[in-house]
Structure 1
Amino acid sequence: MLNADRRRTLFLLIPVLLVLIGYVLYPSFETFLESIRKNGVYSLQNYQDFFGAKSAANFEALWNSVYISLLSVLFSALIGIPLAFIFTRYDFPGRQFFSNIAIMPIVLPSLVGVMAFMFLYGEAGLVPNAIKDIFNLSKVPFSIGGVSGILIVHAYTMYPYFYMTTSSALNNIDPSLEEAAANLGSNRFRVFWKVTFPLLTPGIIAAALLVFMVSMASFSAPFLLAGGYRVLSLQIYFSKINGDLEMAATQSVILSLVSISFLLFMRWYQNRKDYRMGSKGIGVHRSEVRNPLIKWMMVTLGILAMIVLLLPHATLLILSLVPDGAWTWQTYPTAFSLENFRLLFDTPHIWDPVRNSLIMTVIACVGVFAFGIITSYTLVKRKFIGKNLLDILVMVPWALPATVVGMNLILAFNEPSVFSFGKILVGTFWILPLAYFIRFLPLVVRSTNAVLEQLDDSIEEAAQNLGAKWFYTFRKVILPIILPGVLSGTLLAFVQAIGEFPTSVLLYTLGNRPISIEIMNQLRMFNMGQAAAYGMIQVGLISIVMFISYKFFDVKTENTL
């Protein structure tokens, strides 16, 4: 007979395994089976076609996806890490304000951000045409597009991940370690390379993983900025809409293998060394910039950076105030009104995508909040065989590109199964909340793990020794302590889900289309003002949630990473 502790572990482990097996492993296995099926017969023909000469486009798309993702990691790191050092280590006028502005790109959903960049820096964009008119040039001096456009958008939208993780790591470094190295004769570069950088490694690896995965799943930037540039996420989408599910499954498997391989490599690299330190509990020390010239140079650069960072948000606002048909052949908009927002409230069906996004995101976030707590507690505080394997399995939905998650669910739930309770989920309202739940569950688990790993087991044991039952101890002692970490992950899940496009474009129906899909539909119909109005609502919803979380719950998104 099992003792009470083992029964409790089993009680927690069973629902975790059921969810992960039913909605992560089973869909992935169905996709693999579809990839080795050709005209109803099992074979490797799809893989031969993928790598063969007649389908060279697939191999080109695979290389382009990896190439873009690696460069996105590099450029995001080159922006995010130096910014984190400047705002964390130096004190100058406006530092706190500028550091808050630095995370503003995170409130721009991917599709909305790409749209803003198109109207801001594209061939007909505001900035290139303004420069052309100011300097009386014959043509615009530049415009973004192609690979460079994708990388610019990725660097802008993804550098906050490096900025937040590096800032968090720098705040946790005991300055006495660096001071000791300097006192022993090491110069600044050697102190950074031998002391500071190794302690930043876990945070940098976490950000690199996040940026790589998001880049591999990138759909909006290649789709809108580089229509002829092949990436594998787009190839999966085109194969699906052309009805070639076998090739779409094969492409999904290949993309999954690349992403998971990168995940395992980065985990191996991080585990090579022990990055813990013996801290004295001394807070971070900021050096005041005393040189007036350098001080005001930093303030000036901060103001310029603020303008650049907020231009996409301002452009989106301007577009949302331009009535449809009022900006066609003109270089700049000449008429402004609230017509686009009025339509949202005057026409009931126009409001449907907003309501759908909110309902589906809230459903998914309630699920990841509750299930994330159970999963994280089981992984961190319970002992059982296969814990490392379960930990990797939890991270798989985040390691998989969003298009792959969508294809997995299509192939798994386009017919009744025990995990869909005998129903066909594809084509129903519930397929998208399920996709959001599976896709963003790792965010809550990771953020909660970070808090639970710092929680001494003696706290829980002391409560139980005083006569408290396990559930009472968990509810009154453990849950209040880990709540900031749980809310942190749930916040980021909300931010990601409310703007999710790649998964939605594969799974949506007319009845549950979210805001991101409606934005794409409005762009196809050249209703730019209406598309921007939807985009402003998305940005507004994300901003409100982030403000409430920071103001009332003291939630820090860097804990999630």
Structure 2
Amino acid sequence: MRTIRNQLASVNPIALIFYGLIVWFIVAFLIYPNVNIYYEIFFKDGKFSLDAAEKLLSSERAMRSLYNSFILAVSLVFTVNIIGVVLVLISEYFDIKGAKILRLGYFTTLIYSGVVLVSGYKFVYGENGFMTKLLAGLFPSFDPTWFHGYWAVLFVMTFACTSNHVLFLSNAIRKIDFQTVEAARNMGASTFYILWRVVLPVLKPTMFALTILIFLTGLAATSAPLILGGKEFQTITPMILTFSKSVSSRDLAALLALVLGLATLVLLTIMVRFERKGNFMSVSKVKSELVKQKINNKLGNIAAHILAYFLFLIYIIPVVLIIIFSFTDAHSISTATLDFSSFTLNNYLFVFSTMSAFKPYLVSIAYAAAASVAVVALTLVASRILHKFKNKWTLALEYALLIPWMLPSTLIAIGLIVTFNMPRLVIGNAVLVGTVWMLFLAYVIVHIPFTLRMVKASFFSLDSNLEDAAKNLGAKPFYTFMKVLLPIILPSTLAVLALNFNSILADYDLTVFLYHPLYQPLGIVIKNSTDAQALADTKAVTLVYSVVLMIMSGLTLYFVYGRKSRS
């Protein structure tokens, strides 16, 4: 205790104010709402009650949504892993002609995802979509309303959720020791045997982590079930959204969000336990770079190439058609027809010259910029504390800041709604529901864990001698931080800021719960354009939004990852 007092006595008063603000933020927005949601569910009138649980169990829609969510999550575990592994084998392991071009197609989900991706697939395969019109022309009996329900959601999410495979599994497969593969081949092992018994076992830890992430993604899916699921396939998150709009059913929304949160915690716990027990280390001491393997069987080689390019088309067609149709008039978009005379730049001119069309961009950019800067500033101060002091209090601080990583964004949103829809002393008796601050705070909260991990890693990679030298020269702590430490960690910090900005810009899953009706971000506008009653002009503007978002995402990824790989 005396040591802590001595440390506090030596801290600058301004720094103490920053530390106090961090503690207040953690208590007010990370701990209190998530504890209060339990109270609102089980102690609504001050007495313990299971009425909410009874209402949930007696609600056929709610129980069906739970069932559908788990069915979708289990299905995605199989489909995404199969497609993801195939993509990685095609682009990294087997010798496939045109692998570099194929890789570009497989990586398209990195530049457009979430509601933008789902709206793109509906634009292509929906009732009035280009591919649906094409198939209906080839097969007169083809049902134009085919793309909805469980199978449509599963199809879109299968190809949308392979981003982590092409990033992390590709990196894991490049680390396989080629000498082991060659030794197995020299012993007469077939290509399939080597793949099954030598290659895939090395990928187990990555595969297991990806499987947990896939299951959680399927469980908390929002955009795809909401846009494509229809009435026959409603999942947990859309149902939570429906319940949260009514005061009388918010306890059901909170309880469903709580079920989602408990499932998340259980799965994360299982993942940690299995990773600790597992032993997947390679026994090779001298590694040689993996050489792409040729498929000697002629029919197998042809089949692999056909599959590779078929998957490439599935990934690339929505992107290409979104870009092409963004340059056409409203009539071409509504009828899904292409004519050279219909090409125009009017859609882009309208978006960037009309305030009503450009407003969603301004709103999203303002939210993304403000939240990204705020979360980086918060984690910089927190990381500085964690780097400078090492005790049980800093350990508690770190765990508290990682709370949002253990909870689905749905539960965080419902916690904020339920807690701050009335005056609360912890925030000066203010009411946040119905203000622009709710969404801003939610963006900051959900991005704290990732940002903290990245910024903290930058701090702990610093040479401690730099700070000691500055101190010996008489520099004050704040001056040392601003002039010595911050310039060193600034590049990686700006990279994290750019990634956060990119992910917030078109967010829908969190935004739909908390956005202000007068300030609709891009994610909301894009989703609304997928409704059947949306005007053709609205869809044209949305296509422009999607293209510009893809360009911005691509540039962000290039400056964060592309330049690093070149250096």
Q: 1:475 and 1:276 mapped to 2: Cα distance?
A: 41
What's the counterpart of residue 253 of structure 1?
258
Aligned equivalents of 2:102, 2:6: Cα separation in 1? 50
Distance 1:406 1:484 in 2: 31
Which residue does 1:113 correspond to in 2?
Answer: 117
- Aligned mates of 2:548, 2:275 — CA distance in 1: 37
CA contact under 8 A between 1:178 and 1:191: conserved in structure 2?
A: yes
Cα distance, 1:529–1:544 mapped onto 2, change above 3 Å: same
Report the alpha carbon displacement of residue 448 of structure 1 after superposing the two structures with TM: 4.8
Secondary structure at the aligned position of 1:76 is classed as helix
Of 344-353 and 187-196, the range deviating more from structure 2: 187-196
Amino acid at match of 2:235: V
- After superposition, residues 306-345 of structure 1 pair within 5 angstroms as 306-324=312-330, 330=335, 332=337, 335-345=342-352
Alignment-derived partner of residue 511 in structure 1: 518
Alpha-carbon RMSD across the aligned residues, in angstroms, is 4.0
User: What does residue 63 of structure 1 align with?
Assistant: 67
SS in 1 for 2:290: coil
Question: Over residues 493-534 of structure 1, what are the superposed CA-to-partner deviations in whole Å (9 max), with x where a residue is unaligned?
Answer: 233211211221221113321012122344444224423533
**Aligned residue among 25, 30, 36 for 1:30:** 36
- How big is the shift at 1:120? 1.7
Partners of 1:461 and 1:90 lie apart in 2 by 46
Structure 2 counterpart of 1:208: 211
Cα–Cα, structure 1 residues 482 and 260, in superposed 2: closer, same or farther, change >3 Å? farther
Matched to 2:50, the amino acid is L
8 Å CA contact 2:220, 2:260 repeated in 1:
no
Q: Which amino acid aligns with 1:434?
A: L
Identity score, percent: 24
The answer for the alignment partner of 1:48 in structure 2 is: 54
Aligned residues: 549
Q: Which amino acid aligns with 2:354?
A: T
Matched residues in 2 for 1:392 and 1:436: separation? 19
- Amino acid in structure 2 at the alignment position of 1:516: G
Structure 1 residue 380 displacement after superposition:
7.8
2:511 is matched by which residue type in structure 1?
S
Among candidates 434, 446, 462, match of residue 427 of structure 1: 434
CA distance 1:443–1:333, change in 2 (3 Å): same
CA distance in 1, matches of 2:560, 2:34: 39
User: What residue is the counterpart of 1:2 in the other structure?
Assistant: 3
- Stretches of structure 2 that go unaligned for 5 or more consecutive residues are none
Q: Measured at CA, do residues 550 and 520 of structure 1 come closer, stay the same or move farther in structure 2, by a change above 3 Å? A: closer
Q: Deviations over 1:49-72 (max 9, x none)?
A: 212xx3233222222212212322
The 2-side partners of 1:338 and 1:41 are apart by: 63
In the TM superposition, what is the alpha-carbon distance from 1:242 to its structure 2 partner?
Answer: 2.7
What corresponds to 1:543 in structure 2?
551
Q: What corresponds to 1:125 in structure 2?
A: 129
Query: Do 1:353 and 1:515's aligned partners in 2 also have CA atoms closer than 8 Å?
Result: yes
Deviation at 1:152, TM superposition (A): 0.9
Q: Secondary structure at the match of 1:108?
A: coil
Once residues 419 and 307 of structure 1 are traced to their aligned partners in structure 2, the CA distance between those partners, rounded to angstroms, is: 53
Q: Distance in 1 between matches of 2:74 and 2:288?
A: 34
Using the alignment, how far apart are the partners of 1:396 and 1:548 within structure 2? 27
Q: Residues 376-525 of structure 1 correspond to what in structure 2 (within 5 A)?
A: 383-385=390-392, 393-417=400-424, 419-448=426-455, 455=461, 460-464=463-467, 466=469, 486-487=493-494, 489-524=496-531, 525=533
**Cα deviation 1:373-422 (Å, max 9, x = unaligned):** 45556668863337777666544424433332221111222233355454
The corresponding residue for 1:157 is 160
- Residue 265 of structure 1 corresponds to which residue in structure 2? 270
Letter of the 1:541 partner, please give it. L
How far, CA to CA, are the matches of 1:476 and 1:46 in structure 2?
Answer: 55
Q: Bigger shift: 404-413 or 186-195?
A: 186-195
**After the TM superposition, which of the residue ranges 495-504 and 185-194 deviates more from structure 2?**
185-194
Shift of 1:45: 0.9
In 2, Cα distance between equivalents of 1:196 and 1:382: 43
Question: Counterparts of 1:400 and 1:187 in 2: how far apart (Å)?
Answer: 45
Comparing 4-13 with 547-556, greater Cα deviation is found at 4-13
What letter corresponds to residue 219 of structure 1 in structure 2? Answer: T
Choose 307-316 or 38-47, whichever is displaced more. Answer: 38-47
Pick one of 87, 90, 114 that aligns with 2:91.
Answer: 87
Q: How far has the Cα of 1:290 moved from its partner?
A: 8.6
Whether contact under 8 Å (1:260, 1:396) holds in the other structure is no
- Given residue 254 of structure 1, which amino acid in structure 2 is its aligned partner? V
TM-score by length of 2: 0.82
Provide Cα deviations, 1:256-315, integer angstroms capped at 9, x if missing partner. 111222122212222223556688685743336496967787666544433321211223
What secondary structure is seen at the aligned counterpart in 2 of 1:541? helix
SS of aligned partner of 2:510: helix
Contact 2:177 2:290 in 1 (8 A): no
Residue 365 of structure 1 deviates from its aligned partner by: 1.3
3-state SS in 2 of match to 1:143: coil
